[in-house]
């Protein structure tokens, strides 16, 4: 009996140690909180806890795998946790991604996650510039974002340990996926790069009169592509109209082309906003040749074409930013 009692005691002790080694203590402080709750998603379960009077929180959880886990409060990020780790996070919701700081164990891995998040943001912010890039510029952009991301991942000191296998594989899979998406997008825009002939189109005004690019021959053409369901498009409309008014006596055609699917939707919004200037509609909206030929999946889009019918930029800046500079560049060609 003493022998069996000893075996049971040893088993309980080992189980206790095993459970203890799985436990993670994850604490943090939120500056400028947006609510009194924070959330942590571990595998398929989302846990929540309240902030205390100092806007601090604590999670004590058991995990068996070193990996990234989603954290939410006024935005979301990923934290790296591994069995028996202790991590403290601070963040300011007013500068979410850049304000994040870590203390404790696995700081290197969490700094990697922060860096890769900022690199991914940089790549996303470049999405309108990518079609305008030469092949060497595009390669440099990929190397300066996804290339650094991969290099930083593979330099993590424990990345080749068995505990990190799924984390490493998931990260490499995501990297390859993003690389494929961005590269395919760049290749699909080959006919829309600067210097190429602009693709002709047929659009109509509210009276049914048809227009094509040929109707604006020998003029610089600036096109605002929008839709009623695009909030950013509507916010930019007054800036575009103001720009058109400023240059109305110059050799520039300012055209607003809606890609709403229904003509009635387009006409209704024109009346509601009292839109002025040359307002046109791509018949069929997202099924139109104009939409497909100019790859208009991410609105608003601003297209600038020079007086010789060559593309200056098929993805120019917004009028609230520096679209005017692109137009002036086209005027000087």
> For 106-125, what is the mean pLDDT?
93
How is residue 83 written in tokens? 């069995």
Answer yes or no: do 116 and 98 share one domain. Answer: no
Domain count, the chain: 3
In a domain, 35, yes or no: yes
- The reply to whether 8 falls in a domain is no
Last residue of a domain, one of 104, 136, 170: 104
Residue whose tokens read 């996070």: 89
pLDDT digits 0-9 by tens, 139-175: 999 999 999 999 999 999 999 999 999 999 999 999 9
For residues 278 and 327, membership in a common domain is answered with yes
Closest CA to 32 of 96, 77, 87: 96
Task: Name the band, by pLDDT with cuts 50, 70 and 90, for residue 18.
Answer: very low
Are 238 and 118 part of one and the same domain? Answer: no
Q: Does 126 share its domain with 160?
A: yes
219 CB-near residues (< 8 Å, 6+ apart) = 251, 252, 253, 307
User: Within a domain: residue 10?
Assistant: no
306 is a domain residue: yes
Instruction: Categorize the per-residue pLDDT at 21 as very low, low, confident or very high, splitting at 50, 70 and 90.
Output: low
pLDDT tops 80 at residue 56:
yes
Q: What mean pLDDT comes out for the span 2-10?
A: 39
Residue that finishes a domain, picked among 166, 188, 210: 188
Q: What is the pLDDT of residue 332?
A: 85
134 in the same domain as 83:
no
User: Tell me, what CATH number does 236's domain have?
Assistant: 3.40.30.10
Bridge partners, residue 227, by sequence: none
Same domain, 237 and 324: yes
Sheet of 202-204: strand order equals 210-212, 202-204, 278-281, 252-258, 220-226, 301-305, 311-313
Q: Of 188, 216, 241, which one is at a domain's C-terminal end?
A: 188
Question: Region 283-309: what's the mean pLDDT?
Answer: 95
Length of the chain: 333
- What is the DSSP secondary-structure string of 76-99? EEEEEE-TT-EEEEEEEGGGHHHH
Cβ atoms of 263 and 227 within 8 Å: the answer is no
Which range of residues forms the domain containing residue 113?
106-188
Same-domain check for residues 184 and 294 = no
If asked whether residues 255 and 320 sit together in one domain, one would say yes
Residues 225 and 113 in one domain: no
Q: What is the CATH number of the domain that holds 70?
A: 2.60.40.1120
Whether residue 3 is contained in a domain is answered as no
């Amino acid at each position: 009996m003493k022998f069996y009692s000893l075996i049971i005691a040893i088993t309980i002790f080992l189980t206790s140690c095993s459970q203890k080694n799985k436990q993670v203590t994850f604490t943090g402080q939120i500056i400028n909180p947006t609510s009194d709750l924070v959330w942590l998603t571990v595998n398929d379960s989302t846990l929540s806890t309240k902030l205390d009077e100092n806007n601090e929180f604590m999670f004590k959880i058991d995990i068996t795998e070193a990996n990234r886990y989603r954290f939410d409060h006024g935005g979301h990020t990923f934290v790296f946790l591994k069995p028996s780790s202790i991590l403290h996070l601070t963040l300011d919701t007013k500068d979410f991604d850049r304000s994040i700081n870590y203390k404790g164990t696995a700081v290197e891995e969490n700094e990697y996650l922060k860096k890769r998040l900022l690199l991914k943001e940089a790549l996303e912010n470049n999405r309108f510039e990518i079609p305008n890039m030469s092949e060497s510029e595009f390669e440099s952009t990929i190397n300066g974002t996804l290339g650094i991301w991969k290099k930083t991942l593979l330099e993590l000191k424990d990345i080749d340990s068995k505990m990190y296998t799924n984390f490493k594989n998931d990260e490499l899979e995501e990297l390859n996926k993003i690389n494929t998406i961005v590269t395919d997008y760049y290749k699909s825009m080959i006919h829309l790069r600067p210097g190429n002939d602009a693709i002709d189109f047929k659009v109509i005004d509210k009276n049914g009169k048809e227009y094509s690019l040929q109707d604006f021959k020998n003029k610089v053409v600036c096109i605002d592509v929008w839709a009623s369901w695009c909030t950013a498009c509507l916010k930019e409309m007054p800036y575009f109209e103001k720009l058109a008014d400023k240059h109305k006596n110059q050799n520039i055609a300012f055209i607003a082309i809606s890609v709403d699917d229904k003509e009635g939707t387009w006409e209704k919004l024109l009346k509601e906003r009292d839109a002025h200037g040359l307002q046109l509609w791509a018949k069929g909206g997202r099924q139109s040749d104009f939409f497909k030929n100019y790859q208009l999946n991410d609105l608003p889009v601003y297209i600038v074409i020079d007086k010789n019918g060559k593309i200056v930029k098929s993805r120019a800046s917004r009028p609230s930013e520096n679209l005017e500079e692109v137009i002036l560049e086209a005027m000087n060609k």
